[in-house]
Chains A and B, each alone.
Chain A
């Protein structure tokens, strides 16, 4: 009984990481109906970026700054926002339109480019980022359950990120412009909204979340250049389970996915990922609009 409780707690904490993967995807999908196929690869790019900033690029003369992960992440955030803004204005805005195909093809292309670039620069070896001892610390929760400090931090960050995104959407001019542009792009333009700028701001925010997710993925586990598509799948499943347009829905979707995988691993170590996907498929059949679809 206690073991199952432990499984549940670990699943919820794992789900926090998946929620962090998914919020950026949820934002881009909600504001501009764009499915970024390279989402997972950008997360892995973020992890490698953090790795390179700390320890340099192996096999080259480039050495890192050796800063701790938190400072490194703070350095990465403005960079990520800039990359996101430029990518949207320079590349993705040109592919957006009534037909979703061009954006799918462009982001699929980006996915291949990023994977091969990482393979070329960092080789196929798996890497990890040291959390300076935090990764092995844990807090006792009752008699026999321990929760890791790092997974707890990740879960809390996911909670904060979700809360902040929901707050921005409900209570700021920018959030209103996001929702209005998503509703009716022509009418938004008639209000003086420059949709290309608004889209680029959404992607900039999404890339900040991607950088956070990438660094945390690197701290929590190992990563390799080919890991991106797997992460994309988790992010996408969390968004769909939660329902389009709701950040708390996406958060809940991530938690449900994490718990499903955790329960699966408990039953049989080979089943974890599979059960996660099966729960997703079941949700699609039972409730295709997701747990908390945007009320329209």
Chain B
């Protein structure tokens, strides 16, 4: 078991956003999380990253409790988030953004040469300001920047949002290549079909709770739409 959460709850001030989430991920697995807006998908990822408070024992990663640790410590343990909306650093060039990914100094196979091999266009654009890139290229920088931290577990939040279908296909092909080598991933997606195709197991969140879970290829449309909308 690489990642396990037990009865994980999370709050924004007085507002409770997650209600006792039980979640499991084996090493090498790709798990998708789907759900409507406000279902708690992004909150779940933020809580895993330590951006929201969590009880220490409620999140276990690689055999150790990590709930509520500082984000920096969690990155050191090997979890990284590709945040929704990419969140590149606007005053840094493409290459400087990538180098920020390696800030924690975790050893591993990923370095500038390797991510340029994965996304060759980024080598051409490496000196350009990150803001001058197209949306798809910016998403590539965000994914590559995350890989630079040499994670064991990659969290992707709404990676396809606002991108052309052809670009989404490219990025998911790159993700499949990376995860094919043994990297685990949690993919949060609005596009249910894409989430099913890209993952082996799937969780559906509804109003801060898990409303459905199962193997991605065995769940029917009816089951999913029931769990998605609660009707």
Q: Which residues of A contact B (CB under 8 A)?
A: 173, 176-177, 179-180, 182-184, 186-194, 245, 294, 296
Residue count of chain B within 8 Å CB distance of chain A: 25
Residue of A nearest to B76 (CB): A192
**A33 CB, min distance to chain B CBs, angstroms:** 14
The residue that B100 contacts in the complex, of A177, A182, A194, with Cβ under 8 A, is A177
Q: A192-B71, A192-B103 are contacts. A183–B91 as well, Cβ < 8 Å?
A: yes
Q: For the complex, what is the distance from the CA of A194 to the CA of B70, rounded to whole Å?
A: 8
24 CB contacts below 8 A, A to B, read A176-B96, A176-B99, A177-B100, A177-B103, A179-B96, A180-B89, A180-B100, A182-B91, A184-B90, A187-B83, A187-B87, A189-B72, A190-B51, A190-B75, A190-B83, A191-B75, A191-B101, A191-B104, A191-B145, A191-B149, A192-B104, A193-B72, A193-B103, A296-B131
Residue of A nearest to B99 (CB): A176
The residue that B51 contacts in the complex, of A179, A183, A186, A294, with Cβ under 8 A, is A186
Query: Which of A173, A183, A186, A190 has the largest count of B CB atoms less than 10 A from its CB?
Result: A190
Residues in B whose Cβ lies below 8 Å from that of A183: 89-92
Say yes or no: B75 contacts A192, CB within 8 Å: yes
Residue of B nearest to A190 (CB): B81
Closest CB pairs A-B (n = 3)? A192-B104, A192-B75, A187-B87
Q: For the complex, what is the distance from the CA of A180 to the CA of B130, rounded to whole Å?
A: 12
Interface string of B45-69 (1 = CB under 8 A from A): 0000101000000000000000000
Q: For the complex, what is the distance from the CA of A189 to the CA of B52, rounded to whole Å?
A: 12
Q: For the complex, what is the distance from the CA of A198 to the CA of B60, rounded to whole Å?
A: 28
Residues in B whose Cβ lies below 8 Å from that of A245: 91
Q: Which residues of B contact A (CB under 8 A)?
A: 49, 51, 70-72, 75-76, 80-81, 83, 87-92, 96, 99-101, 103-104, 131, 145, 149
Q: For the complex, what is the distance from the CA of A193 to the CA of B102, rounded to whole Å?
A: 10
The residue that B71 contacts in the complex, of A179, A184, A189, with Cβ under 8 A, is A189
Residue of B nearest to A193 (CB): B103
**A186 CB, min distance to chain B CBs, angstroms:** 7
Say yes or no: B100 contacts A176, CB within 8 Å: yes
Residues in B whose Cβ lies below 8 Å from that of A182: 91
Residue of A nearest to B130 (CB): A183
Residues in B whose Cβ lies below 8 Å from that of A187: 83, 87-89
Q: For the complex, what is the distance from the CA of A193 to the CA of B49, rounded to whole Å?
A: 13
The residue that A184 contacts in the complex, of B51, B70, B75, B89, with Cβ under 8 A, is B89
Q: For the complex, what is the distance from the CA of A187 to the CA of B49, rounded to whole Å?
A: 11
Say yes or no: B91 contacts A179, CB within 8 Å: yes
Q: For the complex, what is the distance from the CA of A179 to the CA of B93, rounded to whole Å?
A: 11
Residues in A whose Cβ lies below 8 Å from that of B87: 184, 186-187, 190
Q: For the complex, what is the distance from the CA of A176 to the CA of B76, rounded to whole Å?
A: 19
Q: For the complex, what is the distance from the CA of A89 to the CA of B145, rounded to whole Å?
A: 29
